[in-house]
Amino acid sequence: MGVDVRGDDYTKAACRAVFDAIHHSSLNFFEAAGKTKEQMQIEVLIGVQQPDQVDRDAVAAELPYGNVEVKVMHGGLDAPSANSNGHLVTANAIVLVSFDD
């Protein structure tokens, strides 16, 4: 999960969600599988309230390697911010990693 607290920035929330997801796991397992990082296929699923507001290229840039595809769909949660006229924007991310045989 990633949150933008002040800016109503769906891309920032999505990037933070991806950062959180990949830093709670390891993408270095490819060596044990006899694969290279260039062979890694990564599908990123992002859920936010306004999918059209997410810069897919910026989200893909959060991944250190692999062939990255970003799909954005309706999800996440917007909540009124107590400190501004904006919203707390939350994004959820799922990072799926595979290799072609």
| Class at the top of the CATH hierarchy for domain 2-99 | alpha beta
Note the pLDDT of residue 91: 98
39-72 tens-digit pLDDT: 889 999 999 999 999 999 999 999 988 899 999 9
Compute the average pLDDT of residues 5-19. Answer: 94
CA 92 centroid distance within chain: 7
Burial of 57 (0-12, 13-18, 19+ CB in 10 A): exposed
Q: What is the pTM of this model?
A: 0.89
22-37 tens-digit pLDDT: 887 766 677 777 888 8
Q: What is the DSSP letter of 34?
A: T
Residue of 93, 34, 50 lying closest to 68 (CA atoms): 93
Note the pLDDT of residue 81: 77
**What separation, in Å, do the N-terminal and C-terminal C-alpha atoms of the chain show?**
31
- Enumerate the domain spans of the chain: 2-99
Tell me the pLDDT of the chain averaged across its residues. Answer: 90
